[in-house]
Structure 1
Amino acid sequence: MSTQIQIRDIKINVYKYNTLVIGSGAASLNAADSLYKLGQTDIAIITEGMNKGTSRNTGSDKQTYYKQSTTIIDEDSPLKIAKTLYDGGAMHGDIALVEGALSLKSFYNLINIGVPFPHDKYGQYVGYKTDHDENSRASSVGPLTSKYMTEKLEEQVRKNGTDIFDRFLVIGILKDIDKNESVGVLTIDTKNIDNSDYGLTLFNCTNIIYGTGGPASIYHRSVYPKSQSGATGIALEAGVKGHNLTEWQYGIASTKFRWNLSGTYQQVIPSYISTDENMEDEREFLEDYFENPSDLLNAVFLKGYQWPFDSRKLYNNGSSIIDLLVYIETQVKGRRVFMNFMKNPNCVGGEFQFNLLGEEAYEYLSNSNALFGTPIERLKKMNPLAIKLYKDHNIDLESEPLEIDVCAQHQNGGLVGNIWWESNVKHFFPVGEVNGTLGIYRPGGTALNSTQVGSYRAAEFISKVYTEEPMDMNEFKDKIKSQVEKKIDFIKNIKVNKNKSSNLIEFQQELQKEMSKHGAFIRRILEVRKSIDEFNNTFKSLTELIHINDLNELPNVFRIYDMIIAQLSLLNSIEEYINYGGDSRGSYLVHNKNGDYEIDYQGINLRYSLENTIGDKVCETQINQNHSLMEFKQQWNKVRPIPEYKSWFENVWQEYRENKIYGGINNED
């Protein structure tokens, strides 16, 4: 603690650092370690919980890390990766080039600290192809790749002796408003909440590296770990621009234990069953849509490769029909849906007739020596760790069906950052998923690459350019006083009734269900507009609508506060995209009554088009606070192309020696 300052009637502890790293996932930990190794040791990590984030708690059947290919069978380069990322649409070419250029540096750093990516006897880190990829760039250490990364990066940070403020919740990004620069954060020390100071703690800093992950709490149907909430909302509230907020990935996942059901979970072709709320009236519902068994079996198999819902894969019995049929059962009919690995689909007629499969599915199972038995028997052969994963979470795929739904998994969009990951607010660097570098379509595993590249770039820029001490305490208090007072006033307006149970859980769930119904992968403009009005009214009256039993629930109030801002930002971005003429793209379907394609099934009619995807532009979103209301400003910008220039070594060497590559202190380049 550097000192205390008094604001209103509260004495608040204040700490000073050159750089605060917020979050404890793969991006944040790499940022802290990179800063230290680059010579900037005046740093601290602030986290809600070291073990709470997405990096630590999620994965898939074979979680992918995407990098430049390093084997003799694939000719590759940073430019080729950049083109792959750029061609996915709505991604800036200069960002794509940086993510390609630093992919191997980041990958080998992870290897050097002990992440066990596999290589052959010649030292080649052999890869495999992932979705939307033309090279074998993918690597993996199994279902828990990001967990291994996070654990090894944490070892480095602890070895460095970096200060860690654990169980501190950030509730406000503090700015020098005149200069549009971040100067600190307001937090709640969740271990020390009391009536006198509410656990409020201030941090005065020169720089903020913001690695809080995606806005994990905004949906009810979600594969994010329940321990993660995200903090995109308070960054948007502070004037940080968002872009591509509309772009998410949605796909089939288990709900009791939140996990993506991609890869071998689908390739073993389990049966899909639907029941009523009491798990009665069981039936296999996919057969109602597919006219022949081969189309059904191939669509399920392809969900392994094509896990995210993709609006282009609906036509002609494409794999994304599976997602849509699950959605109709769960969210339209109100039934429950399960994947059953204990029995083959009814349509195969008892013993599996593998000749019903298409060539791709048949060859895959044949090459895996799995043309036999039931789905669970095939899964044991092809990926026994996939069974163990669920057993470790008290779910036995050998004896019980697995409840599923179509869930939000990852936001491709997020907060704006330039080629050094600095946002429009100076000294504020969003890294990892909270930074929206990725566009409409992206190869699987690029998100993990982005966590490492972006966090290193932010650390490099800070260590070379933003090295000054934080402002003195009197100036700091003067700059942030009114911003902190606003949060204190909000806290004091919250109703605390020790004789009444809190309504936070039910209140939050209702908002999350609304988002899953109207702001997820099926989007209708009238429903979006209705939701915007409802969420605006909720935010305006938040302290009147909620009540808590105890002050220790204060952090959950602020998580809801952040969540609503993120929800409103997404809904307004969806409305803007549809108003601009945007059709279905990426992982969502935009209902268009005059659309080129139609799905008419059991009373559900969806029309959609795929023509106008606006992939050559990016929509930026910024909040202008107007008293208790938030006004949203939207701006469409042309996508920046991949840079083309002749790099002459001697010239680059000189610019590097003279620090000219950083574009000067104003970061104009």
Structure 2
Amino acid sequence: MHRYWCDVLVVGGGGAAIRAAIAAKEANPRAKVVLITKGEFGKSGVTATACSDRMAFHATLAYTEPGTQDNWRYHAEDIYRIGGCVSDWNLAVILAQNSGAAFEYLDGLGVPFVKRPDGRADQFVTDGSRYARACYTGPKTANHIEEALVKKIKTMDVEIFDHLMLTELITSEDGRRVIGAFGLNTEAAESLEDRGLCLFQAKAAVMATGGAGGAFRVNVYPPGMTGDGYAAAYRAGAELVNMEFIQIGLSSVKTKLACSGSMMRAIPRFVNESGEEFLAKYFPPDTSYEELYNTVFEKGASWPVSNEHRSNLIDIAVFKEIDSGHNVYLDYSENPSGFDFDSLSQTNRGRYQAEIKARVSSGERNRSPFDRLREINPDSIEWLKEHDLDLARGEKVELAPAIQHFQGGIKISPEAQTSLGGLYAAGECAGGQHGANRPGGNALMDSQVFGKIAGSQAAREAETIRLPEVPRVLIQQQRHKLEQLLDMTRGLAAGEARMEVQEILSRVASVVRTDQGLTEGLAQLELLRSKGLHADQNGLAFALETLNIFDVAEMVMRSARVRRESRGPHLFFSCPDDEQPLTRDDQRWAKYIVISKGPEGMRLEVREPVRPKEKLLSALNA
């Protein structure tokens, strides 16, 4: 087993992790900073791979609307309001106040943000925000940020280990602080000797491992996003928060493309494998075609699902149609029944006109969804064709609710400190800064703001800490755990176990959630857990990821079952056959659920978030 010593250990390879490592080194140039990432550094994880039609980085700059000195206050209020008032106000303030500096840092590194003729950043309005704050480079904003950060960190004395997976955090004897971590070299993971198992002794650590899309069957994440940070922090004793809030959006099963924006505004047919249009049967019986298709159009601006938008009826319809045993498709080859372009509201027709890229005749516009899509977003047609979906030939886009972003995570303070000493968190791995939802573009910004804070605070704390020794018994326990996973006679194969957990979560903790479904899901999860599992042809790291998915699945289902209301992407139904979810209940549920490890298992506590001062909030709402 290889041993390593460092002042700051950063776990992860995306934007938050790299920013944390850079900040740690900038805060203390003498500190030994180590970064470990499970994938190939700079080419794996969400920041390095995510794309969209115009990916946003939310920032309040000196000239950002409304152009006042305190314009950050409107940004903070949007974060808190869009989050459903179940996040910490002080963290929203930190995000808003530091977003401009985060943008300037990246701009200085050469991220090619689109600028106006006067040199200012071009900014646009994203979902739910009152003012234009979204900066961008184009579809690859996140990729450009990753590239710039990678280039920067390579100029610094930071030791980087890729293909090295976190297996467990190590805590002090009293369990109050993190003193290191175990890692597994995934390229030598079939043997625990030599390079396989690694020990990192650290004065402070930053968790920035991203989300857990891999816990669900359909997701838009790259491979390897299995909630390793959530699970390791939980087992070490850290608190997590808001784990029931997961952004879920209708996406292409084949390509993982988010079917938002123009994909909906073209008004395709929603059909099952028999070609039957099914949307109308899940809407209220008196819904007119005009109302139905205006809702489809508006779905383009309300992706992912949200209790606060009527377009959630579409997500519910797709989920229920799939749950009843059907496959669901978007068909662009012909108009849906009863559709006429002029039946769209004047507002929606105006929005359509504003998006035209390659104008067609009014007759063509009314002819088919394909003609409308080639008018407002011809690039999407080409992109799909490059990914083996040819809409021009009438091929349909298979559709499903896909996991897009975890809103919650390891609970942090304004210093990015977790409830454990020596442990910090940033990015999607962290929780409390966003509530049920977030403004579009805030995730990228969050990774940079709290990435910087986490890294610099970890470096400062490390200066005051003596490097502790790791007891030999902990090393023996870790070896024993891994050796058990390599015993092919124990329990289920990891691949089989993972598929079963993914099916459970996708059935009971996706768009439609009920007490009955979540209770049954937890019982099924416990039965699977009792059987145990072993590494299969996918390898030891895959088996460890699967164990992490078990922990994440329990967090999601337990917290979802406690919250008996609907808020953001959490739609809670009295029973599966109900047409509408329960309403939002601010009187009882404007609170968050905190998860921790208790002596008898997972413990959940309902708490009051940090609230804004009344005078400040009333000023914002004036």
Match of residue 557 from structure 1: 543
Question: What displacement does 1:497 show?
Answer: 4.5
Contact 1:90/1:614 (<8 A) preserved: no
Match of residue 602 from structure 2: 632
In the alignment, does 2:277 pair up with 1:284?
yes
- Corresponding letter in the other structure for 2:478: K
Match of residue 17 from structure 2: 28
Question: What displacement does 1:248 show?
Answer: 1.4
Question: What displacement does 1:358 show?
Answer: 1.0
> Distance between the aligned counterparts of 2:44 and 2:236, measured in 1?
24
Change (3 A) 1:192 1:117: same
Question: What displacement does 1:64 show?
Answer: 1.9
Deviations for 1:244-299, whole angstroms, at most 9, x for unmatched residues?
A: 11111111111112232222221222222210xxxxx2222224445422122211
Q: 2:518 aligns with which of 528, 545, 555?
A: 528
Question: What displacement does 1:511 show?
Answer: 0.9
Match of residue 620 from structure 1: 594
| 633-642 or 106-115, larger mean C-alpha shift | 633-642
> Distance between the aligned counterparts of 2:475 and 2:390, measured in 1?
50
Contact 1:82/1:642 (<8 A) preserved: no
Deviations for 1:563-609, whole angstroms, at most 9, x for unmatched residues?
A: 1011112222123323xxxx11111211126xxxxx9xxx6655522
Question: What displacement does 1:70 show?
Answer: 4.8
Question: What displacement does 1:69 show?
Answer: 4.9
Q: 1:206 aligns with which of 169, 184, 203?
A: 203
Q: Secondary structure at the match of 2:308?
A: helix
- Corresponding letter in the other structure for 1:476: E
Q: Secondary structure at the match of 1:206?
A: strand
Match of residue 660 from structure 1: none
Q: 2:434 aligns with which of 434, 438, 453?
A: 438
Question: What displacement does 1:495 show?
Answer: 5.5
Match of residue 556 from structure 2: 570
Change (3 A) 1:196 1:43: closer
Q: Secondary structure at the match of 1:409?
A: strand
Q: Secondary structure at the match of 1:110?
A: helix
> Distance between the aligned counterparts of 1:312 and 1:327, measured in 2?
18
Contact 2:243/2:408 (<8 A) preserved: yes
Deviations for 1:7-48, whole angstroms, at most 9, x for unmatched residues?
A: xxxxx2101111111111111111122223333451111011
Change (3 A) 1:306 1:72: closer
Name stretches of at least 5 consecutive residues in structure 2 with no aligned partner: 617-622
Change (3 A) 1:424 1:360: same
Q: 2:498 aligns with which of 508, 531, 554?
A: 508
Counting matched residue pairs gives: 595
Match of residue 256 from structure 2: 258
In the alignment, does 2:611 pair up with 1:641?
yes
Change (3 A) 1:227 1:144: farther
In the alignment, does 2:336 pair up with 1:345?
yes
Contact 2:27/2:459 (<8 A) preserved: yes
Match of residue 588 from structure 1: 570
> Distance between the aligned counterparts of 1:248 and 1:501, measured in 2?
30
Deviations for 1:125-166, whole angstroms, at most 9, x for unmatched residues?
A: 232211121111122222222122112211111222421111
- Corresponding letter in the other structure for 1:608: L
Q: Normalising by structure 1, what TM-score?
A: 0.84
Q: 2:481 aligns with which of 469, 487, 490?
A: 490
> Distance between the aligned counterparts of 2:35 and 2:153, measured in 1?
9
> Distance between the aligned counterparts of 1:195 and 1:396, measured in 2?
46
In the alignment, does 2:407 pair up with 1:409?
no
Contact 2:268/2:335 (<8 A) preserved: yes
> Distance between the aligned counterparts of 1:424 and 1:560, measured in 2?
25
Question: What displacement does 1:614 show?
Answer: 4.6
- Corresponding letter in the other structure for 2:59: K
Match of residue 344 from structure 2: 357
Change (3 A) 1:94 1:292: same
Q: Normalising by structure 2, what TM-score?
A: 0.90
Question: What displacement does 1:507 show?
Answer: 2.1
Q: Secondary structure at the match of 2:437?
A: coil
RMSD (Å), alpha carbons: 2.6
In the alignment, does 2:41 pair up with 1:52?
no
In the alignment, does 2:136 pair up with 1:162?
no
Q: Secondary structure at the match of 2:243?
A: coil
> Distance between the aligned counterparts of 2:592 and 2:488, measured in 1?
46
In the alignment, does 2:116 pair up with 1:123?
no
> Distance between the aligned counterparts of 2:282 and 2:543, measured in 1?
44
Question: What displacement does 1:100 show?
Answer: 0.7
Contact 2:179/2:201 (<8 A) preserved: yes
Contact 2:319/2:512 (<8 A) preserved: no
Deviations for 1:595-640, whole angstroms, at most 9, x for unmatched residues?
A: xxxx9xxx665552223475542221101255xxxx1222222221
Deviations for 1:416-470, whole angstroms, at most 9, x for unmatched residues?
A: 1100111001111111001012012321111111111101111222343432565
Name stretches of at least 5 consecutive residues in structure 1 with no aligned partner: 1-11, 276-280, 594-598, 647-669
In the alignment, does 2:220 pair up with 1:223?
yes
Question: What displacement does 1:641 show?
Answer: 2.6
Equivalent positions of 1:5-16 (< 5 A) are: 12-16=1-5
Change (3 A) 1:410 1:73: closer
Structure 1 ranges of 4+ moved more than 6 A: 643-646
> Distance between the aligned counterparts of 1:607 and 1:97, measured in 2?
32
Deviations for 1:219-261, whole angstroms, at most 9, x for unmatched residues?
A: 1122222343231112111111001111111111111122322
Contact 1:61/1:265 (<8 A) preserved: no
> Distance between the aligned counterparts of 2:185 and 2:535, measured in 1?
18
Q: Secondary structure at the match of 1:102?
A: helix
Contact 2:491/2:531 (<8 A) preserved: no
> Distance between the aligned counterparts of 1:388 and 1:282, measured in 2?
24
